[in-house]
C-alpha cells in the first residue's frame, strides 16, 4: 500500500532512540524527508547516514524554550506535512515517593513543551489547510502502570489537550491523534524493569519476564511494528481518523475500550 509519504516533510522529536528512532527510519523507508531532533547528536547522525540528502539534524533539548525556538528557526514550518511529538518519561516513582518538585518537572517534560511546540506549528498547518500531529504517549492513559504516578497523571492532560484541539482544527484539514504504546523493547523500559526489580526484590531479568507475562502475546513489542501504525496516522490515508488515542500494546490493556 502506497501511503503517499514520498517527498513529504516531517519533524520527528525524540528521534535518538526508541519510538522516535523507529518512526524516523520508517519515514525514510517511505521516501519522506525528515527533520530529526534530540539531545544526542551521535545517535541522530546514525539516522542522517541512512539518507543524508533527506535528513536534517537539529540537536535540542525541547524542554527548553530557547532550544525549541532554535529548532523552529532552522526550517520553514510551511514545508511540514506532519510532526511526531515524542520524548521520554519522568522517573518511576510511587505517589508517596514523589516531591512537589517531581510534579513540576513532570509538567514541564510531559505537557508544557508539547503545548508550546503545537502552538508554534499549528498556524502553518492552518495556512496550508493540511497537517498531521501525532503524539506518542503511553498505554498508561488507559490503564495506569504501577509506580509511574507522574506519567499516569500528566499524560492524561495531553490526551485532554489533544482531544479538545483536534475538534477545533479538524475543519482546516488537520488531524491530531495519540499513540498509546504498551511495553516495547526500547531503552525507556529500563527504568520500569529497574523499579519493579527494586520493589519486588528480584533481578532485572526476572522483572522483565514478569512484565512480559502480563502481555497477552507473551512478548515485548517491536518499535518497528509500532512505527507502521505511525506511518498510517501521518499519511493522507488517515484523513478521517482524528482525536483518537490508539493503543499498540499486544493485548496488555484489559479494559473493553483499551
CATH number at residue 107: 3.40.50.720
Q: Of the candidates 58, 17, 18, which has an alpha carbon nearest to the alpha carbon of residue 34?
A: 58
Q: Give the E-state strand segments of the chain in sequence order.
A: 9-13, 33-38, 55-59, 80-85, 131-136, 174-181, 245-248
pLDDT in tens, 45-87: 999 999 999 999 999 999 999 999 999 999 999 999 999 999 9
The structural domain count of the chain equals 1
pLDDT classification of 254: cutoffs 50, 70, 90: confident
The whole-number pLDDT of residue 193 equals 86
Q: What is the mean pLDDT of residues 86-90?
A: 91
In-domain check, residue 60: yes
Residue 205 counted as domain residue? no
- Most trustworthy range by pLDDT among 143-157, 194-208, 209-223: 143-157
Could you tell me if residue 143 is inside a domain? yes
**pLDDT at residue 125 in the model:** 98
Better-predicted residue by pLDDT, 235 or 192 = 235
Average pLDDT, the chain: 95
User: Is residue 214 situated within a structural domain?
Assistant: no
Residues 212-233 have a mean pLDDT of 93
Alpha-carbon distances, residue 41 vs 15, 44, 56 (angstroms): 10, 5, 12
- Domain assignment present for residue 63? The answer is yes
3 state SS of 73: coil
DSSP per-residue codes, 23-63: HHHHHHHTT-EEEEEES-HHHHHHHHTT-GGGEEEEE--TT
pLDDT at 186: 87
Grid look-up 527533520 returns 35
Say if 206 falls within a structural domain: no
Distance CA 245, CA 135 (A): 9
Residue range(s) defining the domain that contains residue 233:
9-182+221-244
Q: How far apart are CA 183 and CA 14, in angstroms?
A: 18
pLDDT more than 90, % of the chain: 85
Average pLDDT for 100-126: 98
| Segment 149-196, tens digit of pLDDT | 999 999 999 999 999 999 999 999 999 999 999 999 888 888 888 888
Compute the distance between CA of residue 74 and CA of residue 185 in angstroms, rounded to an integer.
Answer: 32
Q: How far apart are CA 46 and CA 44, in angstroms?
A: 5
146 falls within a domain: yes
pLDDT band at 132 (very low <50, low <70, confident <90, very high): very high
- At residue 40 the predicted structure's pLDDT band, cuts being 50, 70 and 90, is very high
The pLDDT, as a whole number, for residue 68 is: 97
Domain assignment present for residue 57? The answer is yes
Amino acid at each position: 500500500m502506497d501511503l503517499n509519504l514520498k517527498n513529504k516533510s516531517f519533524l520527528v522529536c525524540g528521534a535518538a532512540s526508541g519510538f522516535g528512532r523507529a518512526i524516523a527510519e520508517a519515514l525514510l523507508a517511505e521516501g519522506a524527508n525528515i527533520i530529526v531532533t534530540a539531545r544526542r547528536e551521535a545517535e541522530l547522525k546514525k539516522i542522517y547516514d541512512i539518507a543524508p540528502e533527506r535528513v536534517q539534524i537539529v540537536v535540542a533539548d525541547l524542554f527548553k524554550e530557547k532550544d525549541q525556538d532554535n529548532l523552529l528557526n532552522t526550517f520553514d514550518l510551511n514545508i511540514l506535512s506532519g510532526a511526531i511529538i515524542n520524548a521520554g518519561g519522568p522517573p518511576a516513582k510511587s505517589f508517596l515517593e514523589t516531591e512537589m518538585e517531581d510534579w513540576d518537572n513532570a509538567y514541564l517534560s510531559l505537557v508544557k513543551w508539547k503545548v508550546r511546540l503545537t502552538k508554534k506549528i499549528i498556524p502553518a498547518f492552518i495556512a496550508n489547510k493540511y497537517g498531521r500531529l501525532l503524539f506518542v504517549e503511553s498505554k498508561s492513559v488507559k490503564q495506569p502502570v504501577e509506580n509511574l504516578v507522574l506519567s499516569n497523571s500528566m499524560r492524561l492532560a495531553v490526551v485532554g489537550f489533544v482531544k479538545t484541539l483536534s475538534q477545533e482544527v479538524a475543519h482546516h484539514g488537520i488531524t491530531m491523534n495519540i499513540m498509546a504504546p504498551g511495553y516495547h523493547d526500547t531503552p525507556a523500559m529500563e527504568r520500569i524493569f529497574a523499579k519493579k526489580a527494586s520493589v519486588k526484590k528480584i533481578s532485572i531479568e526476572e522483572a522483565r519476564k514478569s512484565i512480559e507475562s502480563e502481555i497477552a502475546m507473551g512478548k515485548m513489542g517491536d518499535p518497528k511494528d509500532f512505527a507502521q501504525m505511525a506511518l498510517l496516522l501521518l499519511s493522507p490515508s488517515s484523513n478521517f481518523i482524528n482525536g483518537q488515542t490508539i493503543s499498540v500494546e499486544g493485548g496488555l490493556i484489559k479494559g473493553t475500550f483499551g
